Chains A and B, each alone.
Chain A
């Protein structure tokens, strides 16, 4: 956990006071809605289809049990008893009243939680691997670097009115769980041949209506230069990014229009001028930030303890264990994914009661720590293997132990037309219906790893371009239609999906997905070939032939 100190707490209190004043000036008419809008957005306040929505940051996906309980409190007191976890390590409350917002924010600020820079044309909440600090795969804890960036970017005087929003993601493991290649800036932390820590810097990735995979502009940036290099990127973008058209204002368009090489050249020139200035990260500064992360005092334990072996004889526990439990860097421990994808429920939603169950589990078994991943699930990153049966029983009782992590029913979906003012089509009910079709565990297990991502409009909040199966809702003559893409992925081999064929109606989607999956089962080289690999091997054509012949 990162521990906020008196500076962070003072800042948050000042921010809440400022927003209270801004709300008052809006209500008095001193601020027009046009003037107020960016101010509220930069505090995470949206005006949605039915009400104001508050988006709260979960920096680098890390929450304490007290913070999660406070989120539950806000859900219960100011919302309708639930919250929605997003694809960018945020939680959204969809039914908060404008006049209640400062109080809700003050309640969150007491435990160091806020909505600052979860929206607006600024540097957004920096995201990373939800297994950070726990996985044996990583070169360093990426949260150290995410925290350095969080501090640097908070109310940055120069970069608060950028051409458009700006999203940074960091991975410190070769296996990318943070979708870094589809971010404005993606940072891959690794060590060079000399053993020094540094970043590969990717720029210009992103989804939305013009999707791109990020381009590498620097293979190795020594870690101490992180802030000066980011500042150079931001300064080039702030000056030269397009502002004439909101749909062409993201950095990906600038990089695409002038070319990655020319962009990198401009950044390097700017960086040369500032690299040894005030942003230089000395060892002391890095050590200071690092010291503010407290790690569990792990006791050595035996792997596969007897209690676990006995519990695994229960097929229900074994099924959950197979999907939800992942290797930990410390022997005898495990990382647990908590599925927020119960069959038939909106993906990523958690009730206040469920949040409290997870918080209590973190208290009892997980060093009071919870993570949130971009797949819209929660995670207990540090638990002892012998406690897994007890954890499972309590998750199961709360409807949080669906054994579908990474399966076809573990769907990423945006709020869609049920909530969002931008959406053209529903996303949640599509996800619910697909999940129901594949509710049978045996069938789901036979299919194996398969990511379905659904967006209710071209803005792509459901990341449909990088779903193994991507579903995009569009509107045609007042009707909801859906385009299907295959073969997208958001990991270290990130690529955009290929369009399968003509869009189909709302009613046809679940059946079509079943046909796609049946085709995969028929065509795969063997039970070990994942869906994504079959699509890579054969292309979409054989799928297209089968699926459209059937419809």
Chain B
């Protein structure tokens, strides 16, 4: 599956490992929440980067104690119509101070790319190859943004005053 990071197609360094498979040694891995929470203590000493797929029905605040040992956070969209991960992403960025990679996974489609980017995702893993190709167009359709969010785009409420103040993060 293609991976877009900050607008560019990149190679996915992280291997997604199901809960019942052994972790490959020395390679970055992306694992599920159950294994992560069960083995969190042991994984602190794992010799390669560990990423976690945080489910959208578990309060994101619970991830706080683990942040120092996590190399990648993936938030899930079980359906593109299920928007819980947008709130999780903003809270991670704006409340919990997560500055590392934040990936959108699941039923990720081009008509939601812009919303994901504005909510703080810097990595997007689209389901359809054609959507990945349309990334640039999809996130540049708009030049006007009415409200401040996690991204640095100036919001209209302030732009109109001739000032440019970006999102809550600042």
- Convert A238-261 into 0s and 1s, putting 1 for each residue whose CB lies closer than 8 angstroms to a CB of B: 110001000000000000000000
With a CB–CB cut-off of 8 A, which chain A residues contact B142?
11, 14, 18, 155
With a CB–CB cut-off of 8 A, which chain B residues contact A238?
83-84, 86-87
With a CB–CB cut-off of 8 A, which chain B residues contact A11?
142, 144, 146
B residues 115-150 with Cβ under 8 Å of A?
115-116, 118-119, 130, 141-150
Q: Interface stretch among B14-22, B27-35, B160-168?
A: B160-168
- Convert B78-115 into 0s and 1s, putting 1 for each residue whose CB lies closer than 8 angstroms to a CB of A: 00111110111011000100000000000001011011
- Complex CA gap A18/B81 in Å reads 18
A273 touches B95 (CB 8 A): yes
Report the nearest B residue to A22, measured CB to CB: B111
B80 touches A161 (CB 8 A): yes
With a CB–CB cut-off of 8 A, which chain A residues contact B88?
239
A158 touches B90 (CB 8 A): yes
| A126 smallest CB distance to B (angstroms) | 13
B95 touches A161 (CB 8 A): no
A542 in the interface (beta carbon within 8 A): no
- Complex CA gap A227/B159 in Å reads 17
A residues 142-195 with Cβ under 8 Å of B?
148, 151-162
- Complex CA gap A10/B141 in Å reads 11
| B156 smallest CB distance to A (angstroms) | 6
B157 in the interface (beta carbon within 8 A): yes
Contact with B119, one of A5, A153, A157 (Cβ below 8 angstroms): A157
- Complex CA gap A22/B137 in Å reads 13
A316 in the interface (beta carbon within 8 A): no
Number of interface residues of B (CB under 8 A): 43
B47 in the interface (beta carbon within 8 A): no
With a CB–CB cut-off of 8 A, which chain A residues contact B87?
158, 235, 238-239
With A11-B142, A238-B87: A161-B168 Cβ-Cβ less than 8 Å: no
With A39-B111, A158-B83: A278-B155 Cβ-Cβ less than 8 Å: yes
Q: Is the interface of B mostly helix, strand, loop or mixed?
A: loop
With a CB–CB cut-off of 8 A, which chain A residues contact B143?
10, 14
A538 in the interface (beta carbon within 8 A): no
Q: Which of A18, A161, A274 has the most CB of B within 10 A?
A: A161
- Complex CA gap A320/B116 in Å reads 54
B44 in the interface (beta carbon within 8 A): no
With A14-B141, A157-B86, A278-B168: A5-B160 Cβ-Cβ less than 8 Å: yes
- Complex CA gap A30/B119 in Å reads 25
- Complex CA gap A277/B150 in Å reads 12
With a CB–CB cut-off of 8 A, which chain B residues contact A30?
130
With A7-B144, A151-B147: A161-B86 Cβ-Cβ less than 8 Å: yes
- Complex CA gap A534/B112 in Å reads 53
Report the nearest B residue to A5, measured CB to CB: B160
- Convert A14-42 into 0s and 1s, putting 1 for each residue whose CB lies closer than 8 angstroms to a CB of B: 10011000100000001000010011000
B65 in the interface (beta carbon within 8 A): no
- Complex CA gap A121/B157 in Å reads 24
Contact residues on A (Cβ < 8 Å of other chain), bracket: 35 or more
A152 touches B161 (CB 8 A): no
| B158 smallest CB distance to A (angstroms) | 7
A residues 264-323 with Cβ under 8 Å of B?
273-274, 277-279, 284-285, 288
With A152-B147, A278-B165, A278-B167: A158-B111 Cβ-Cβ less than 8 Å: no
B residues 49-86 with Cβ under 8 Å of A?
59, 80-84, 86
With a CB–CB cut-off of 8 A, which chain B residues contact A158?
83, 86-87, 90, 115, 119, 149
A151 touches B156 (CB 8 A): yes
B148 touches A278 (CB 8 A): yes
- Complex CA gap A160/B111 in Å reads 11
Contact with A274, one of B165, B166, B168 (Cβ below 8 angstroms): B168
Task: List, sorted by A's number, 19 A–B pairs whose CB atoms are closer than 8 Å.
Answer: A7-B144, A10-B144, A22-B111, A35-B80, A35-B109, A35-B111, A151-B156, A154-B146, A155-B115, A156-B147, A157-B86, A157-B118, A161-B81, A161-B83, A161-B86, A161-B112, A235-B91, A243-B84, A273-B95
- Closest 8 pairs between A and B when the two form their complex, measured CB to CB: A161-B83, A157-B118, A278-B148, A11-B144, A157-B115, A158-B86, A151-B146, A277-B168
Q: Which B residues are closer than 8 A to A by beta carbons?
A: 59, 80-84, 86-88, 90-91, 95, 109, 111-112, 114-116, 118-119, 130, 141-150, 155-161, 165-168, 170
List 16 additional contacts besides A157-B149, A159-B86, A288-B161; criterion CB under 8 Å.
A17-B141, A38-B80, A155-B145, A156-B146, A157-B114, A157-B119, A157-B150, A158-B87, A158-B119, A159-B83, A161-B112, A227-B147, A239-B59, A277-B168, A278-B167, A279-B147
